[in-house]
A and B are shown apart, each in its own frame.
Chain A
Amino acid sequence: MNRAQLSEAERRITHDITRRHFFGRCGVGLGALALNELLAEDGFGNQAIDPARPMEPRAPQFPGKIKNVIFLFMAGGPSQLDLFEDKPKLREFTGQIPPPSLMAGKRFAFLKGNETLLGSNRKFERVGECGITLSELLPHHRQIADEVCWLQGMTTDVFNHGPAKLFMNTGFQVPGRPAMGSWVTYGLGSESRDLPGFVVLQSGPRGPRGGNSLWSSGFLPTSYQGVPFRSGGDAILNLRSPKGITPERERSFYDTVSALNHARLDEVGDPEIMTRINAYEMACRMQTSAPELMEFAKETPETLALYGAEAGKPSFANNCLLARRMVERGVRFVQLYHTDWDHHGDAKNNLSDSIEQRCREVDQASVALVLDLKRRGLLKDTLVIWGGEFGRTPMGENRATVGRDHHVDSFTMWLAGGGVKPGIFGATDELGFGVVENKVHVHDLHATILHLLGFDHEKLTYRFQGRDFRLTDVHGELVKAILA
């Protein structure tokens, strides 16, 4: 098979994918009749995914407001009532039994039913033009009070960590579905030629509950699965050449593999070999680009101080700085996990020193990320999301100390960046039990994120086991009111 035939073969395969989809839907033998219908209905743009280059940048369905996403995931469920929502009434009724009408039909993970209301003992201040009430635990957040959209009416469906994290990340409570980052890179590819399109970073005492399934590509091709980067040692598993192999000698290794593959390609003409040749080329580039990414030498002391980052010392702050560096290099979706926000009231997870420590770890760097992106002109193309898998109860939970249990009916998240209108959106009742205004369900958040990226959430689909799946399952409403 000669070169010309080969490129023809590649072209065919690309068309072939289109056709396969067509066959999958309609069955062989229908004829070409349904093609026009299919084109009319897909509305996803007009570029095919080249299987040899699954991460090639693609245009969305309509021009998006943003190109990248950084999700600061506060694993465990931060207490909105001790951070973002001042509830004088709750404080006033501390120690009293909650109104039965608010408790009817509610299910909680740990509460027994005899708990009483618990007002926050934190000092709050109303700040910014929007008037968000921020507690003393987040002093740095005042700087972005009017930069971000405060979603105070978030709700979710699930009250156990594992299923709730899956729900926030994949739109389903059971494992095995694609993560948001996988959907986004499936839709858009990635601008980075040298780094993965969907990267996961972790800080805090342990990994997030749920592990791999939180960034799995599910039934999407594994090209779209999240790649965990570690902030210490080698960033990616197997990034380092075996001991004794220098970079120059590694280059000749890659050249040899490439030559062997080209020889086989000429012999058997399988276009899949070309895909593999490209994959090895990118692997070779990653071996250089990933260590460069992790290197903070070119960052100014001022920048490091802004984040509170220290070179070589793994932390949430370092990960925030890494996230900015990734977005600069074209990585499409960066997800940070910071763990241990599960403040039930045990000795090591309480609403006193534990939550204070968590806030010290994330307050400055979360804010620095927004400010740094903004001054570099990156914020207009980037969406920063901050929040956990659920909120915490207005009732106290009695353990070693009094903490709070998981709460699904209301919690706070914030969004910053292109396409989002700053201000407060959503409000809860006086006791913080439920949303009374502008409720945003997890599915709605997903729909809105996809919209900002240029996708109709109902049309970014993938056929699996006989049905078209999407991030929002069969739900989700675009939250138009927060669009800039």
Chain B
Amino acid sequence: MLHSPRVASPSLAVLLFLIHSLQLFAEPPARIGFNDQIRPILSNTCFYCHGPDEKHREADLRLDTAEGAMADLGGYAAIVPGHPEKSALVERITTHDKDEAMPPSKSKKARLSEEQIALLTKWIEQGADYQGHWSFMPLSKGAVPEVKLASWPKNPIDHFILSRLEKAGIPPSMEAGRTTLIRRVSLDLIGLLPSPEEVDAFASDPLPDAYERLVDRLLANPHYGERWGRHWLDQARYADSNGYTVDSDRMMWPYRDWVIKSLNDDVPFDRFTIEQLAGDLLPKPSKSELVATAFHRNTLINEEGGVKPEQFRVEAVIDRVNTTGAVWLGLTVGCAQCHSHKFDPISHREYYEMFAFFNQGEDINNKGATIEIVRGEIFGQPIAAEPAKPPGTEINEGTPVRKPPNETTVWTPAQYLEFDTSTGAGFRLLEDNSLLSDGRGASNDVYRIVAKTGLKQISAIRLRVLTDDSLPHRGPGTASNGNFVLTGFDISVGGEEQPIATAFADHEQANYPISGVLDDNPKTGWAINTGKESKVKMNAPHEALFVLSKPIVVSDKPVEIRLHHDLNQSYLIGRFAIDFSPEESGVPEGLPKPPKVKRENDATSDIAQLMVMKEVEKPRETFLFQRGDFLRPDEKLGPLNPGVIGAVNAAFSTKSARFGNRLDLARWLVSPENPLTPRVTMNRLWMRYFGRGIVETDEDFGSQGSAPTHPELLDWLGSEFIRREWSLKAMHRLIVTSATYRQSSTARPELLEKDPRNLLLARQERVRVEAEIIRDTALSASGLLDERIGGPSVRPPQPDGVYSFTQTARKWTASLGPDRYRRALYTAFYRSAPYPLFTTFDSPDFQSVCTRRARSNTPLQALTLANDQAFFEMAQGLAARLLKELPGESDLISEARLKRALVLCFCRMPSEKELAIVRGYYDGQVAALQNDMAAASALMNKELAASGTPPPVAAALVCAARAILNADAFITRE
């Protein structure tokens, strides 16, 4: 649906219409309500200059609090309760004196209307009763309202809905037919279509609780976790790439699997929250709790050359603050990044107190802390492959110390020009021309060394790892036993990468040979541990040689070397030196060579190094950034302690004295006293079922957001959620078994006058399903669906040319096996070049949190459904299914097939008209294709060709299937 760009067509009819329909919501009140009537006026007209933002406040007057509005301004006050005639506010909004009038003309805000002035005056007359903003108030525990039509409600939800409808004089709609119901609730709960057999069984189930049993079956179906996991992943801004320009692969799928598993297990929402925000800070965290913290590792990493890591570390922290605010609190805290919020009580300082919670992450625009997860592990069924153990945990000999292949080689020490790491850590240049880590190297850091050689050409590079007293067990590595793992070694001269022919190490730990450096697999590398009885010492100098494919002329050009440590977090090299040799010594036999074919990418690997949260050892100080600029910390104000938003905290009867870390924040968010989390969470649940939340602006529960249409219902749902121990499944069941949910969605012309937007829910809504569900329903209708749950992301076919518009042309090899037909949430998602179907059907680009998707309706969507290869294959699949299920050749069989196709897709018997339309098209295609056998064969796949059906018949069936998959009724939940 579209929002209007500030467009309005003024006409008396509209005005009358508006007034008329508004009366639905506002019964003529004896008493003026502050929150629903006064606050919106003040918020829109006055708060910008007389609101929470102290920096922007005019005349030192604030009107968003009673104290501010009634303060003595020197013999007078803006508001004098009970006395509009003494209130300066009334005078200023009514005066004709241009210099005095409020709002002032320079604010470009319109003068208040007479009605607004009357409201304000009346409210002051009644005592100017300020109330806190509704969403910051504790949940109210009002009684379930009485209704006249007592036979209609199925649970308390319906009392809230029906009582409003009865006040407006609108009867609710009839319950939808059973075929509609089963399609609706299946799409909503598991995102897949029921089979015709399931539809029949439900339609003819004589027991009174047929529907409730259906709901229970669906909630127990493991596809539930996929369907609702997708909604959560939108908020988690989950994707399979790092973002920004380079946008390389990342492996976050274990986190996706964790979400699916947790939802299927109905992990209580408070625990679900705590594990994701602070699983790493729980006492002795389990692996699963660490996986959960990947929620906040879904932030972007900018791998572009020349970026300053600190800048993008700060960007990631800001994103974590804003995401947390949007997901749990439904507040636009991001507004307070640069200045105090203009409309809501969130100060600039409070923003950075929230920031302080997230400012202690160890990652600095890099991979940071990781844990290894194998496919299936999250579901308790790990694949056979053992995850690699950290080096040093096994006792073995490794290789003895060996002599380098050419001992006579003359080595020239490097003249270091620059040395740093991907996260901005540094080194100290020692007198012997070696580099010693300053100890700030982050997990999985990449070292970058730029050096001059003084040589005309180079053909080999020597890396010497050295011991030092400052390292654990004197090193040479930074692991607790002095080990390291070098997983990659790159060298470039004048900006061009130089291929390496071979490498040699004087000693290799078993399973960690030097060849592991040459392949581009981040999970293999060179390490140096030895057995206890070994004659070789680990904690001693060692060396590795790298021979270039051919000698490179360097002259004065700087040589850049990068050392990668991708495998284990703290297994970095501690001290090292680099030397060059100009000699063409020839590549000795028997040394390892890099693999000929580079790995396509890691994203398909069954083993993931999942990025997780980890706190820095030495806490960072947090400063308020002036105007949100990280280069302008407010030193005068001093370092800030972590803290929560005071206006929300006000609802708590007992207030925590001190907040230390993310765990405190998480517990505060899911405290039963938090007024926002249960409301925000229940509102989003509601939104998925009715196309709109009780609060339409689900991401803004502040004073600029829309007011709830059914505030009592929202509070009841919130309280019930807590009472049912934060069980999401219990709340899903409650909502979908309500009479409100079960209503027909058919439009009611008589409601166009009274409630055109269906805010009162006198019927269900028809909604087009989301991008992913379009694919999933087509897969389930065609029978092609591969139902496997979880694992690395997959690549179904996508149109050619998706990468002609990205910096890096990525190779997208479409899966040929069953992965081709996996559900859409497993499709690999690259932030800079998303799978086109998704973007076209409004999926977000996962650059930042998305709590609610748009729902557009465009020609590009039509082209996608009509012509996309993946969809055409599904039409072929559906045709093949029909031929298989209904074999033979006759007019009756043709008719039966078409009917079956419609039943499979719409989950109901087609109308005569629908069947006639499809039949007419099909007959026309059969006739046309009989004269165009080449076209007929082109439309078929192997399976269809092998079916023995005459090609025009099979091909016409593909055409008919394609038309049905393009019907509005197919992609719509009715």
Contact = CB atoms under 8 A, between A and B. Distances in A.
A and B interact: yes
A175 interface: yes
Given A41-B108, A222-B840, A279 B315 contact: no
Interface stretch (A10-18, A304-312, A379-387): A10-18
Contacts of A467: 332, 335, 704
A239 interface: yes
A436 interface: no
A237 B836 contact: yes
Interface stretch (A267-275, A317-325, A355-363): A267-275
B860 A227 contact: yes
Most A Cβ at <10 Å: residue of B41, B799, B832: B832
Interface string A260-285: 11011001111011011001101110
B746 interface: yes
A230 interface: yes
A108 B5 CA distance: 39
Interface string B824-848: 0000000111101001101001011
A245 B939 contact: yes
Given A216-B845, A399-B494, A237 B805 contact: no
Interface in A46-101: 46-49, 51-52, 54
Given A162-B302, A212-B832, A222-B856, A1 B8 contact: no
Nearest to B27: A29
Interface stretch (B18-26, B252-260, B597-605): B18-26
B7 A48 contact: yes
Given A269-B747, A467-B332, A243 B839 contact: no
A286 B863 contact: yes
Interface residues of A, number: 135
A174 B847 contact: yes
A216 B418 CA distance: 39
B2 A49 contact: yes
A46 B7 contact: yes
B332 A30 contact: no
B40 A269 contact: no
B845 A465 contact: no
B899 to A, nearest CB: 14
Interface stretch (B76-84, B303-311, B498-506, B726-734): B303-311
Interface string B682-698: 00000000000000110
A221 B3 contact: yes
Given A23-B706, A160-B304, A213-B845, A465 B963 contact: no
Interface in B2-18: 2-10, 14-15, 17-18
Given A32-B18, A211-B833, A8 B8 contact: no
A209 interface: yes
A223 interface: yes
B4 A48 contact: yes
A176 B968 CA distance: 29
A112 B419 CA distance: 12
B585 interface: no
B854 interface: yes
Contacts of A233: 800-801
B930 interface: no
B917 A466 contact: no
B302 A160 contact: yes
A256 B916 CA distance: 10
A265 to B, nearest CB: 8
Interface string B193-236: 00000000000000000000000000000000000000000000
B936 interface: yes
Contacts of B5: 44, 49, 186-187, 460-462
Interface in A218-243: 219, 221-223, 225, 227-228, 230, 233-234, 236-243
A244 interface: yes
A246 B935 contact: yes
Contact of A41 (B110, B558, B707): B110
Nearest to B852: A465
Contacts of B335: 466-467
Given A29-B22, A207-B806, A242-B872, A260 B964 contact: yes
Contact of B36 (A28, A54, A174): A28
A174 B315 contact: yes
B75 to A, nearest CB: 32
B244 interface: yes
A21 interface: yes
B2 A221 contact: yes
A260 B9 contact: no
Contact of B706 (A8, A27, A222, A268): A27
A24 B9 contact: no
A260 to B, nearest CB: 4
A31 B26 contact: yes
A34 to B, nearest CB: 7
B44 A34 contact: yes
A261 B859 contact: no
B28 to A, nearest CB: 10
Given A202-B804, A242-B939, A20 B757 contact: yes
Nearest to B18: A32
Most B Cβ at <10 Å: residue of A1, A243, A245: A245
Nearest to A233: B801
A169 B238 CA distance: 25
Contacts of B921: 252-253, 255-256
A461 B756 contact: no
A210 B244 contact: yes
A123 interface: no
Given A36-B113, A212-B834, A282-B859, A1 B968 contact: no
B832 A213 contact: yes
B807 A400 contact: no
Contact of B832 (A24, A52, A210, A246): A210
Interface in B905-947: 911, 913-914, 917-918, 920-921, 924-925, 928, 932, 934-939
A18 B245 contact: no
Interface string B466-504: 000000000000000000000000000011100000000
Contacts of B73: none
Given A31-B26, A222-B839, A260 B7 contact: no
A211 B7 contact: no
A103 B446 CA distance: 30
A200 B857 CA distance: 21
Nearest to A48: B7
Contacts of B925: 249, 252
Contacts of A23: 696, 706
A96 B914 CA distance: 81
B766 interface: yes
Contact of B245 (A107, A161, A223, A273): A161
A237 B326 CA distance: 34
A223 B839 CA distance: 11
Contacts of A47: 7, 9
A45 B7 contact: yes
Given A206-B809, A264-B967, A347-B496, A283 B863 contact: yes
Interface string A169-213: 000001110000000001100000000100010100011111111
A31 B8 contact: no
Nearest to B911: A263
- 8 tightest CB-CB pairs across the interface, nearest first? A109-B306, A211-B832, A400-B494, A244-B938, A209-B245, A346-B495, A269-B747, A466-B700
5 contacts: A34-B41, A213-B832, A269-B747, A398-B558, A399-B495
Interface of A: 1, 5, 8-9, 12-13, 15-49, 51-52, 54, 107, 109-110, 112, 159-163, 174-176, 186-187, 196, 200, 202, 206-213, 216, 219, 221-223, 225, 227-228, 230, 233-234, 236-246, 249, 252-253, 255-257, 259-261, 263-264, 267-270, 272-273, 275-276, 279-280, 282-284, 286-287, 337, 344, 346-348, 398-400, 405-406, 459-463, 465-467
Given A264-B969, A406-B306, 8 more contacts: A21-B8, A212-B831, A221-B854, A223-B2, A237-B799, A242-B867, A260-B918, A260-B968
